[in-house]
Amino acid sequence: MYQKCDPQAQLRLFCFPYAGGGALLFRDWHAELPTSVEVYPVQLPGRGNRMRERPFTNLSGLVEAAAAELLPYFDKPFAFFGHSMGAMICFELTRLLRRINGPLPCHLFVSGSRAPQLPDPHPPSYNLPEPEFLQRLREMKGTPAAVFDNPELRQLVLPLVRADFSVCQTYVYLEEPPLDVPLTAYGGLNDKDVSIDFLELWRRQTNGPFMIRLLPGDHFFLNTASQYFFQVLSQDLTTTLRDFASRSSHSRRASARY
């Protein structure tokens, strides 16, 4: 992570990228979100300043490593945001924190992702031969054109993307009780892979408040409709802070009575 602690901030927002992405995706978010929120971009192995590290190919190992590294930063109220693969990471990270009796986020923001209990309708693609794998990336429309046009760049990027696809496509959902964490699911109105019905099923993963936010665009709406997305996320973060403060005040009053 690239972050200096802001003692004035009230909430830390840990951000997890989609497949093939890194902390750079979130480099400007601090300027777009409320000043009461610290943005913590999570840099996964195999990209950016961790380029020399081997990327994970399974979700359980990735989540365990993330928990070990991030635990020291959970010393003040925090929330998770993840898009696509990042949504799976922050969901399973929250469940792991619950299993080890660790601190839990005060809100879970999942974006561009089917509910985790739904099986992937597509056959695995992480192990396809290169021509077929490249075609799959073109269909998804999230990979810069330079990757397809530059053989050296392809050689650098494709192993990372294959590893990230493996993280997503080898994931096995295990039944656990719903989380006691408020959850908001974001989706693109034109996302062919993540329909509103698939977003709605996230409701089963929380005992707390649940909301769906639909934004213009396809799977990568957070890039193509970024201004509107930031407005919506800013509103939701402000509400999260207000609700957390209200719950904390209620808890303190209840404790004082006993």
Token pair, residue 44, equals 């996964």
User: Alpha-carbon distance 122 to 241, whole Å?
Assistant: 38
The amino acid that residue 121 corresponds to is P
User: Alpha-carbon distance 88 to 55, whole Å?
Assistant: 16
φ, ψ at 3 (rounded to 5°): -160, 135
Active site annotation includes 84: yes
Q: Which of the 8 DSSP states describes residue 201? A: G
Residue holding tokens 């601090």? 30
Q: Are 237 and 186 in contact (CB under 8 A)?
A: no
C-alpha angle with apex 114: 68 to 167, nearest 5 degrees?
Answer: 45
Q: Are 258 and 32 in contact (CB under 8 A)?
A: no
Residue holding tokens 């993840």? 82
User: Alpha-carbon distance 82 to 112, whole Å?
Assistant: 9
Catalytic position from the list 36, 60, 84, 125? 84
Q: What residues are annotated to the active site?
A: 84
